[in-house]
Structure 1
Amino acid sequence: MRVLRGLLEVGALFLALFLVMPYIPSHEGFVHRFGAKQGVAIALFAASRVLRWRDSWWIALPEAAAFGAFAWALTESYNLL
């Protein structure tokens, strides 16, 4: 059970990071929006942190909020390219 929880934690964390990977910038002026993809990434990140902290699950809330700010800033920085 401990190994399965660890695999779920790592899997959710890496999937969340994969979902916020950089877009390929284009010269066409397309603007990337903060949307469902980033929302799913934040939810997966929060789930991985809750699995990590178990009994102290409330610690995962500020971590997920910080990851949300990171995902938003990353999306906005792509638009500046």
Structure 2
Amino acid sequence: MTLLSFAAYEQQLKWCTFALGLGSTISVVQGWQLAAMMLSLPFCLIWIYCGWLRNEAQLKFINMMFAALYVYGIARYLITTT
């Protein structure tokens, strides 16, 4: 399986990110911090992938930075609540 194997599903992936972004926004408004991070991480990962498809370096690197912050935030949340 290669990176471009899901290229045919790019539009469906973008709709999935729309749903993840909407869920993340609702989570932020409701004050559900962990849910917001858990929904935002796959959102960023899909956009990183779509950035690689279209060679959108800025979009790709911005989402890589956010993905790293979400991984840190999720790990910190899990460590501090246990």
- With the length of structure 1 as denominator, give the TM-score of the two structures: 0.48
* Bigger share in helix: 2
If you compute each CA radius of gyration, which structure gives the higher value, 1 or 2?
1
